[in-house]
Chains A and B, each alone.
Chain A
Amino acid sequence: MNKATDFALDSTLGLSLVAIFGVLWIAFGWYLGRKNKSHEDFALAGRNVGFALAAATAMATWVTSNTTLVAPQLTYQLGVWGMVGYSFAALGLILFAPLAARIKHLMPHGYTSGDFIRLRFGRAAWWVFMVISVVYAMGWLVSLGMAGGILLQALSGLDYHIGMSAILLICVGYTLFGGLRAVIATDFIQALIIIVGVVGIAWFLIDTVSLETIHTELSTDHPQLLDLLFPAAVMFLFNNIFFGLGEIFHSNVWWSRALAFKGKVAFKAFMLGGLLWLPIPIVTGFIALAAPQLGIFPPTADMVGPMVAAEVLGKVGAIVVFIVVFSALASSLDSLLAATSDLVTRDFYHKKLRPAASDQQLLRVNRYCIAGLGVLTWLLCLPQIATLGALLNFAGAFVASTIFPIVFGLYQRRLTGGYAALAMGAGTFAGLVSYFAIGFYVAALVSCVVSALICAVGLWRSRTLFNWQDMQERA
């Protein structure tokens, strides 16, 4: 193979696409934001989101840099198991469906996941949980900002910092104007774009590069990618499942949705969102398996998805890839900005600093938080510190430790706050040790196992019973 790879788009076209999308999304956010009259409207869309929007936002928010950039990255690195293992992250949404129904039942007036931990487990567990939540939220925000920069760089050769700054500016802009209402409405449109775009790209790819040639190339020159007993990939499988479960079970992104969906919509919406999401990483991951056949060997593994799609589909394809990935990034970035700012406004400002704050003050602080988070994320994105996969899986050590404390906390009256705090703290510590000693593909698994064992001891030794009525806190 003696053909060097060039960029699919010129940098002017790349910048023009960013500008057009930016203006459209921000204008839409401003239009939707006119209906927000109170903090509850802004933070939880009036707790009145119907089934279609609910399922779309669940699915679109979960389609993120993970699925569009990291799923191909992990397939490129870990082969078939990377692709299949990634799709199992859908189990996070599916298993959150019953939890969402329970959350809505226990806390009909609740705001955040932090509220739950504070009321159910007390202050010590709340602090541990908040550290985990903030580390995760920042890790995800930074990975999304980085993904914007990587996307534009892979497709057009434009400097990483320009793409990264542009996506952050756009998402901060429309979330600032529209709140959760704008986030959910844009998610609905973005979900449609993602489904149509991903299916189209896969269709053209199979049409252009046959499955047989891909298989021949991989078995000759990259045999490890097809090996079902590839050790690192075998370790990665359940690690990814627990990472996905931890992300969804603890994050206020999903709790705020469970609380914003009306009536009994939450269970069905998360179930359908998970089922719709399941095949997407298979499709995006499969794209990466065609890379060696096409002679594409990226500078960093997280660039492989857009590069292959652009190579197969040419300039039009590169535009389609850009729109799909940009939509996926925006749908997650806006959700995370909104949910994290809610967490800071509600759990820190309202509950710790100003309990007597008025509704309008909360609304204003929430907007300041969104802008502040945007600036902080931008600063952290400036040095490209790690690949997206490594950065995300670092957060896995933190979030997987929350799975069992949250499940037991929602259903079992016997788990006390002390054991919940210990489970989250020790689980995170063990996960981080394994992250550095073995690799990113075991951090979440180890963290979850340690946390589960401590919770089991806590249930066995505890003699006190929590009163569910204590969860009924008014705003």
Chain B
Amino acid sequence: MPNRARFVIHISLLLLITLFARPSSALSPSTAEYPYSLHAPEVSREGYFVLNAQAQPSISVQSLWVDHATSAEFSHITRSYPWLGRGVADFQQITLTGFTSGDHYFRLRNAAGDVLSNVVHVRVDHYPLWQALGLFFAGLTVFILLVVLIIANHRTASRTKISQSKGANHE
């Protein structure tokens, strides 16, 4: 291959590499930058959900905390939740509960405050109240019906049993 052609190919490859290059912050943080990868469901209809964490193979055992914020920037951390045991070495998930409807963001950190994972987003969207109350009153109606049915039939059966035993005594 002549030198000129080789030069063009090298320059083209260099351009191609440059074209595909990204700043490190633009790469998926769960795989490239952080020692832990955090996962969460996109939506919760009940206000409780499970966060899962996976550690890179080389990570040493350490205690973890989950930071919670209502914005992806974590400008204000509303609460930190301690991870049970010795972090991911003991348990790979944590169950959080009691959240109101809205957007919630989570990430992992260590005791020193170093951020150790990607940020995950959970949208809590509770069922509409009319739907819940509809099922509640349907249940209440059927339950009252059942109780009345059992009590009325029990009393009738008891009366029949007594009259039968009296009849048997007369015979």
Bound pair (A, B): yes
**A interface residues, Cβ below 8 angstroms from B:** 1-7, 76-79, 95, 98-99, 101-102, 105, 157, 218, 221-225, 229-232, 234-235, 237-239, 241-242, 245, 292, 295-301, 304, 307, 403-404, 407, 410-412, 439, 442, 445, 448-449, 452
Contact of B85 among A76, A102, A157, A411 (CB under 8 A): A157
The list of the 9 closest CB pairs from A to B, nearest first, reads A238-B139, A222-B98, A411-B153, A231-B132, A98-B154, A4-B63, A299-B91, A231-B127, A234-B132
B46 touches A77 (CB 8 A): yes
Contacts of A445 in B (CB 8 A): 135, 138-139
Contact of B47 among A221, A232, A298, A403 (CB under 8 A): A232
Contacts of B161 in A (CB 8 A): 105
B139 touches A237 (CB 8 A): yes
Interface residue SS majority, chain B: mixed
Min CB distance A17 to B, Å, is: 20
A78 touches B94 (CB 8 A): no
B129 touches A231 (CB 8 A): yes
Contact of B97 among A77, A307, A403, A407 (CB under 8 A): A77
B154 touches A222 (CB 8 A): no
Contact of A2 among B46, B87, B111, B147 (CB under 8 A): B111
Contacts of B91 in A (CB 8 A): 299
Say yes or no for B69: interface residue by CB 8 A criterion: no
Task: Give residues of chain B (9-53) contacting chain A, Cβ–Cβ below 8 Å.
Answer: 45-48, 50
A448–B141 alpha-carbon span in the complex (Å): 12
A76 touches B97 (CB 8 A): yes
Q: Number of contacting residues on B, CB 8 A?
A: 56
A295–B136 alpha-carbon span in the complex (Å): 33
B132 touches A5 (CB 8 A): no
Contacts of B99 in A (CB 8 A): 222, 224
Show 30 A/B contacts (Cβ-Cβ < 8 Å), sorted by A. A5-B84, A7-B85, A76-B48, A79-B98, A98-B154, A105-B161, A223-B98, A225-B98, A231-B128, A232-B46, A232-B47, A234-B135, A235-B131, A235-B136, A238-B138, A238-B139, A238-B140, A239-B135, A297-B94, A299-B84, A299-B95, A300-B95, A304-B95, A407-B149, A410-B153, A411-B154, A439-B45, A445-B139, A449-B142, A452-B146
Contact of A1 among B82, B127, B150 (CB under 8 A): B82
A225–B126 alpha-carbon span in the complex (Å): 13
A410–B143 alpha-carbon span in the complex (Å): 18
Contacts of B66 in A (CB 8 A): 297
A295 and B154 contact, Cβ closer than 8 Å, known pairs A157-B90, A445-B135: no
Chain A minimum-CB-distance residue to B139 = A238
A242 touches B46 (CB 8 A): no
B143 touches A238 (CB 8 A): yes
**B interface residues, Cβ below 8 angstroms from A:** 45-48, 50, 63-66, 78-87, 90-100, 111, 126-129, 131-133, 135-136, 138-140, 142-143, 145-147, 149-151, 153-154, 156-157, 161
Min CB distance B96 to A, Å, is: 6
A218 and B47 contact, Cβ closer than 8 Å, known pairs A4-B63, A5-B84: no
Min CB distance A390 to B, Å, is: 12
A245 and B138 contact, Cβ closer than 8 Å, known pairs A77-B46, A224-B98: no
A292 touches B143 (CB 8 A): no
Chain A minimum-CB-distance residue to B127 = A231
B135 touches A295 (CB 8 A): no
A223–B97 alpha-carbon span in the complex (Å): 10
A452 and B145 contact, Cβ closer than 8 Å, known pairs A77-B46, A231-B126, A231-B129: yes
A403–B143 alpha-carbon span in the complex (Å): 11
Contacts of B46 in A (CB 8 A): 77-78, 232, 439
Contacts of A242 in B (CB 8 A): 139, 142-143
Most buried by B among A101, A297, A301, A404: A297
Contacts of B85 in A (CB 8 A): 4-7, 157
B100 touches A224 (CB 8 A): yes
Contacts of A222 in B (CB 8 A): 97-99
Contacts of A297 in B (CB 8 A): 66, 81-84, 94-96
B136 touches A234 (CB 8 A): yes
A292–B81 alpha-carbon span in the complex (Å): 9
Min CB distance A6 to B, Å, is: 7
A438–B124 alpha-carbon span in the complex (Å): 15
A299–B88 alpha-carbon span in the complex (Å): 10
Contacts of A404 in B (CB 8 A): 146
Contacts of A296 in B (CB 8 A): 84
Contacts of A78 in B (CB 8 A): 46
